[in-house]
């Protein structure tokens, strides 16, 4: 409940002062009691009208005493009813105030938790005790919302910190190279310097483009159409085979025709990121990566590599998280920790899912499930 006269934050509706819920409930309880008492009084009054209106006498004349007439009885009923209604109103106000306070106490705890959350404290939980009712359901739902908000804000802060670091690094490197070249221009290999500047600049461009793609997935309408996942996977594998050979990784494929509903550009980006992840996070030499497409719309990639901690694998879809990265080999392009995050975002945007599992012998199993558009299949392609 807002404090009277308090300033209303921007964006909120300015409301007129009204009776509190507790007072309204109290008045409702008291009014119900008074109405119930009034109905009973009316019934008694109506019944008493059937009493004869002539003087009443006792059967034994010696027992004769003053006997009230019907009018006197009705007057007494009305008078006592008014006293009873006043007493019921007082009892209703007192008892109603106490009962309403006890009933609304859980709501006050939820309001206090909401105020803490509005102030930026998301680690508080209500954990309302008692049997299941509307208030405990609201409390549990609010606690769940706080948990998700806290997790989201934690990921956002980590993402912002990592993004600023990743974006600052290429610019810092280019600044250093340029300062060295300016300080000693006569002993600089201009071609080599230009090549290194181009590589560093391209890294910054790749990071920005990946961030934009990651941010735009939830804010744009995606056009879906049936496409053969095996065809896309085969084309991506052919494009990345030179990179795999340069990294000493044997890239194999087992592709079965599978028609899925998706956007071809995004699906191609998904397959490319998964395969590049398998190539770049592999053994220094003699590594393997197997790309498979199954008829049910599932794409899997299994690669060799270092043994990964399952707890670490669970964080690989967070932006800028790199797990088990080996030393960069000559000629190998470095990643920036956004590949699997983008894969998961694309999969979710297509109504699918991403599953990561560490392999006991080392490496990673990546499985992407997409929505199959048809049960038609084509002969398997193995290479």
- pLDDT string in tens for the chain (383-residue length): 444 444 555 555 566 667 788 888 888 989 998 998 889 888 888 887 776 666 656 566 665 556 666 777 778 888 888 888 899 899 989 988 998 888 888 888 888 888 888 887 888 888 888 788 888 888 888 888 888 888 777 767 766 666 666 667 677 878 888 888 888 888 778 888 888 888 878 777 776 776 666 666 655 677 889 999 999 999 999 999 998 999 999 999 999 989 999 888 889 889 988 999 899 889 988 999 999 999 999 999 999 999 888 888 887 877 666 554 444 444 445 555 677 888 888 888 888 999 999 999 889 999 999 988 754 444 444 44
pTM of the predicted model as reported, rounded to 2 decimal places:
0.53
User: For residues 244-274, b (16+ Cβ closer than 10 Å) or e, as one string?
Assistant: beebbbebebbbbbbbbbbbeebbbbbbbbb
Burial class for 97, CB neighbours closer than 10 Å (0-12, 13-18, 19+): middle
Do 300 and 367 meet the contact criterion of CB atoms below 8 Å apart? yes
Give the architecture-level CATH label for domain 222-325+335-382. 2-Layer Sandwich (3.30)
Give the list of residues 6+ apart from residue 218 with CB closer than 8 angstroms, or none.
Answer: 345, 349
C-alpha to C-alpha distances, 254 to 229, 257, 351, nearest whole angstrom: 12, 10, 24
Domain layout of the chain by residue ranges: 21-55+66-121, 163-202+204-218, 222-325+335-382
Exposure on the CB side of residue 359, measured as CA atoms within 13 A: 18
């Amino acid at each position: 409940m807002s404090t009277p006269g308090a300033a209303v934050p921007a964006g909120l509706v300015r409301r007129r002062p009204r009776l509190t819920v507790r007072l309204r409930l109290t008045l409702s309880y008291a009014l119900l009691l008074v109405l119930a008492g009034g109905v009973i009084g009316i019934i008694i009054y109506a019944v008493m009208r059937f009493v004869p209106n002539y003087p009443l006498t006792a059967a034994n004349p010696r027992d004769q005493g003053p006997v009230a007439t019907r009018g006197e009885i009705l007057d007494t009923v009305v008078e006592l009813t008014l006293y009873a209604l006043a007493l019921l109103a007082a009892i209703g106000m007192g008892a109603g105030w106490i009962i309403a306070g006890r009933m609304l106490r859980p709501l006050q705890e939820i309001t206090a938790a909401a105020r803490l959350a509005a102030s930026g404290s998301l680690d508080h939980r209500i954990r309302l005790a008692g049997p299941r009712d509307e208030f405990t359901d609201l409390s549990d739902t609010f606690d769940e919302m706080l948990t998700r908000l806290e997790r989201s804000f934690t990921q956002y802060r980590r993402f912002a910190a990592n993004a600023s670091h990743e974006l600052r690094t290429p610019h810092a490197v280019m600044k250093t190279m340029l300062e060295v070249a300016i300080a000693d221009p006569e002993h600089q290999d201009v071609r080599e310097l230009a090549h290194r500047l181009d590589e560093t600049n391209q890294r910054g461009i790749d990071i920005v483009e990946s961030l934009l793609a990651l941010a735009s997935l939830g804010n744009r309408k995606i056009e879906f159409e049936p496409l053969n996942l095996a065809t896309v996977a085969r084309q991506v594998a052919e494009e990345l085979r030179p990179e795999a050979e340069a990294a000493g990784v044997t890239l194999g494929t087992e592709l079965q025709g599978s028609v899925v509903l998706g956007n071809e550009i995004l699906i191609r980006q998904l397959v490319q990121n998964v395969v590049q992840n398998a190539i770049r996070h592999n053994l220094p030499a003699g590594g393997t990566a197997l790309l498979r497409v199954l008829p049910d719309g599932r794409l899997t990639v299994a690669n060799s590599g270092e043994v990964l901690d399952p707890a670490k694998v669970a964080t690989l879809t967070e932006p800028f998280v790199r797990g088990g990265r080996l030393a960069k080999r000559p000629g190998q392009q470095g990643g920036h920790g956004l590949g699997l995050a983008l894969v998961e975002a694309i999969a979710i945007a297509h109504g699918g899912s991403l599953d990561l599992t560490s392999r006991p012998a080392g490496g990673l199993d990546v499985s992407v499930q997409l929505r199959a558009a048809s049960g038609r299949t084509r002969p398997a392609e193995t290479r």
